[in-house]
Amino acid sequence: MVKYKKMRKKKLATVWLGGCSGCHMSLLDIDERILDVAQLADIVKSPIVDGKEMPDVDIALVEGSVTSDEHYREILHIRKKAKTLIAFGDCAVMTNVTGMRNYFPLKEVFDAAYVNAVSNDAEGQVPDHPSLLKLNDKVVPLQEVVNVDFVIPGCPPNADTIFYVLFEFLNDRLPDLGKAKKLKYG
Amino acid sequence: MNCYMNTISIIIDDQKLETDPGKTILEVCRENGIDILTMCHLKGVLDIGACRLCLVEIEGVNKLLSACTTKVAANMIVRTNTDRIKKYQRITTELFFAERNHVCAVCVANGKCELQDLGYKVGLDHIRYPHLFPQCEVDTSHPWYVMDHNRCIMCTRCVRVCNEVEGAHNWDVMNRGHQVRIISDFNSPWGESETCTSCGKCLHACPTGAIWPKAIVQGQLQKNPGMINELVEKRKMKL
């Protein structure tokens, strides 16, 4: 006989690093199924909720790649706080569009955006205020900085895929995107 | 005496098959509905065994051989779906992605790409190797077509189709290792080519978004690699 035990409500965080927030939009596309998620988990930190400090969480969905010193510190912090860290979307998994600047030296990238941009007036200059984050030379996916427990590729991942992965993890099962035929890049 | 003098029997994945000698393992597998992953194979042009995806185990041979370039022999015992082969297929696919800049999200071939389909088939969800992020050229000098080296996987289907079917030999291969590149004529812009007939066969042969027509926008790419073999067969009928 299996005794029914009320499961502790899990804590869920979603974080937005070097990405376009498209993955978070896709997360919202799970529509009313977010109520199913809310029954099993509290969303304690996310760009769409009013959370401040990152608390200890069971699952962290991390969108975007590591592009700057700030992201680097952040992902190390998230790794410490999260039991399960999920790379969320193509940028987090394989750098995707954010990694397209990796083919050029960083200076060229800055110049293209701030100095030589067609829309610029004559005096374009690279912003260097101390409060701004410092871009790393190369954009790297999460897995090159920390151990990643699961990946959801896709640009953005389908809402169905996101819900499938979340629901499996929230019910203490391990999802398998290949077997579920939910793999997608781009 | 064997009354089927012209056929040989081989065993593929524990399945006993009668087949004509002179065929490749890949041909026999495809005829009998045994799925073998390929990338550089294109029906109608010569096989070169470049992509290493169709590697199979053959009993008595201690290395893996490519099914597209290995001919069947009598009593051969072939295995196509062992864990060892699946492991190598996954590694090969990951290296395709890591070697050049495959950004599916901004690619014209997104959703209609043989490399994407391959990734889904081998269950690739992330790439375990560091990306090289090479600085690759995008040749837009041709009036109708674009050659984007970022998306090229060096299957050389365009080279073979241009040489063997069109007979123009505009495309060729330069350098070795990760610096290997497809070149037009003697490494000049495609638009200045003296040999290119602008027939567009390379475009249909290309499995990814490396060669594409300027007239289309993202998501509208239509490629028809099957037309290459149709052409070859039709030309045989005329002779």
The pLDDT tens digits of the residues spanning A34-89 come to 999 999 999 999 998 876 788 999 999 999 999 999 999 999 999 999 999 999 99
Q: Give how many domains chain A has, as a whole number.
A: 1
CA B118, A99, A13, A162 torsion-angle sign: negative
Provide the shortest C-alpha distance from residue A123 to chain B (in Å): 29
Angle made by CA atoms A102, A105, A110, in degrees to the nearest 5: 95
What pLDDT, on a 0 to 100 scale, did the predictor assign at position B140?
96
Report domain extents, chain B. 8-81, 109-225
* Partners of A140 in beta bridges: A66
Residue B89 has pLDDT above 70, yes or no: yes
Residue B81 has pLDDT above 50, yes or no: yes
Tens-digit pLDDT profile for residues A134-167: 999 999 999 999 999 999 999 999 999 999 999 9
Average pLDDT over residues B84-113: 95
* AA identity, residue A81: K
CATH value at residue A26: 3.40.50.700
Average pLDDT over residues A94-118: 92
Nearest by CB to residue A186, choosing from B105, B131, B135, is B105
Nearest by CB to residue B101, choosing from A103, A143, A186, is A103
Interface of B with A in 48-107 (CB under 8 A): 97, 101, 103-107
Average pLDDT over residues A97-112: 93
Average pLDDT over residues B186-205: 96
Contact B104 A143 (CB under 8 A): no
A74: containing domain: 10-99+139-170
Nearest by CB to residue A153, choosing from B101, B111, B125, is B125
Residues on chain B touching A184 (C-beta within 8 angstroms): 120
Which of A62, A94, A100, A146 would best serve as a mutation to test chain B binding (most B beta carbons within 10 A)? A94
Average pLDDT over residues B62-83: 96
Do the Cβ atoms of B195 and B183 come closer than 8 Å? no
Spatial distance between the Cα atoms of B9 and A100, rounded to a whole number of angstroms: 52
B219 touching chain A per CB within 8 A: no
What pLDDT, on a 0 to 100 scale, did the predictor assign at position A1?
45
**Chain Cα centroid distance, residue B62:** 25
Minimum Cα–Cα distance from B107: chain A residue = A186
Query: Which residue, among B217, B116, B104, has the nearest Cα to A156 in the 3D structure?
Result: B104
Query: Which residue, among B126, B116, B143, B118, has the nearest Cα to B219 in the 3D structure?
Result: B116
Contact A138 B103 (CB under 8 A): no
Q: In terms of DSSP bridges, do strands A10-16 and A41-45 run parallel, antiparallel, or are they unpaired? A: parallel
What pLDDT, on a 0 to 100 scale, did the predictor assign at position A122?
74
Minimum Cα–Cα distance from B108: chain A residue = A186
- Summary mean pLDDT of chain B: 94
Domain assignment present for residue A64? The answer is: yes
Contact A185 B116 (CB under 8 A): yes
Architecture per CATH, B8-81: Roll (3.10)
Domain assignment present for residue A92? The answer is: yes
Fold (CATH) for B109-225: Alpha-Beta Plaits (3.30.70)
Domain assignment present for residue A166? The answer is: yes
Domain assignment present for residue A16? The answer is: yes
The percent of residues in chain B predicted with pLDDT above 70, rounded, is: 97
What pLDDT, on a 0 to 100 scale, did the predictor assign at position B1?
46
What pLDDT, on a 0 to 100 scale, did the predictor assign at position B5?
63
Average pLDDT over residues B213-230: 89
Contact B107 A153 (CB under 8 A): no
Domain assignment present for residue A104? The answer is: no
Angle made by CA atoms B28, B32, B34, in degrees to the nearest 5: 90
